[in-house]
Structure 1
């Protein structure tokens, strides 16, 4: 069935979905299409917030239904951090359940921050130089 997605104060699109699709799966499709991180998406229909684990059928979403997407800021707030978070989560969801993927994602982000924070200025300069040479 075809539904309409309207981002608050933003773009609008139509998507082909199935009624037994979970809200989380829909969020992953919206991320692929509109590049809005899964963790920042909050879906609304008829004034109700949709829970990730429920299906679209649970909320009586039918052909032509318009879902509103509110974009919520996360605790980190930086777009790059949220993009990494969303990309890691989307990848992990292919192999793990929602709670497992969230737990692994959070541990990965903690480990990533620890690794980045331990880099010296020399390390950063080396990485930047290597990247510049790759671009040329």
Structure 2
């Protein structure tokens, strides 16, 4: 069967697959045809996010179906300080608007907001403190690892330079040529 795979940016391709293919395999094919890394892809069919470990037949995806690809930005782009992220509800509204009619998108968004509020009300102060503690500890560990990596790179650069100036670089180039 043939599937049409579309990026929201307008790119699309047609892929020949069987219903037995896994979603992970489909992501690899999309990666090859549209040059989007598989780890940055979210595949959607009729507004449903497809899990990597499931098969296309699990979602009743048949011939001539259309699959949408949402690209997750690389982690570096997410850390870019010049980029201000949009509020969650605005982003969600935009995504829902692409997969549902206006009334349905609004209804789904309202339902999600209600569920979100209910879940927040059920959280205890102790659970919030635990979550914040875990997130802060994780952030601290990531910062330490990044600092350690930066120091290792600086140390390696200094060792490779070995105090040589331009003459040392010429000698090094001659040694490599031999």
TM-score of the superposed pair, with normalisation by structure 1: 0.59
State the TM-score, normalized to the length of structure 2.
0.46
Partner of 2:64: 64
* Per-residue CA distance 1:61-111 (angstroms, 9 max, x = gap): 100000000111132349xxxxxxxxxxxxxxxxxxxxxxxxxxxxxxx9x
Tell me which stretches of 4 or more aligned residues in structure 1 moved more than 4 Å. Answer: 121-124
For 1:120, which of 157, 165, 169 is the aligned residue?
A: 157
The residue correspondences of 1:97-136 to structure 2 (distance < 5 A) are: 114=149, 117=153, 119-120=156-157, 123=160
Question: 1 or 2, which has the higher helix percentage?
Answer: 2
Structure 2 residue runs without a partner (length 5+): 79-144, 162-168, 174-178
Counterpart Cα distance in 2 of 1:77 and 1:33:
23
**What CA distance in whole angstroms lies between the structure 1 residues aligned with 2:12 and 2:158?**
43
SS at match of 2:75: coil
Q: Which runs of 5 or more residues in structure 1 are unaligned?
A: 79-109, 131-136
Which structure features the higher share of strand residues? 1
Partner of 1:25: 25
Rounded to whole Å, the distance in 1 between the matches of 2:11 and 2:160 is 40
CA distance in 2, matches of 1:123, 1:17: 50
Q: Which SS does the other structure have where 1:52 is aligned?
A: coil
Greater Rg, structure 1 or structure 2?
2
CA shift at 1:121, angstroms? 6.3
| Contact 1:39–1:74 (8 Å) recurs in 2 | no
The equivalent residue for 1:16 is 16
Q: Aligned in 2, Cα 1:55/1:9: closer, same or farther, shift over 3 Å?
A: same
Q: Number of residue pairs matched?
A: 95
Superimposed CA distance per residue, residues 8-58 of structure 1 (whole angstroms, 9 cap, x where no aligned partner): 123011000110111011101111111101111000011100011010000
C-alpha root-mean-square deviation of aligned residues, in Å?
Answer: 3.2
Higher relative contact order (CA 8 A, sep 6+): 1
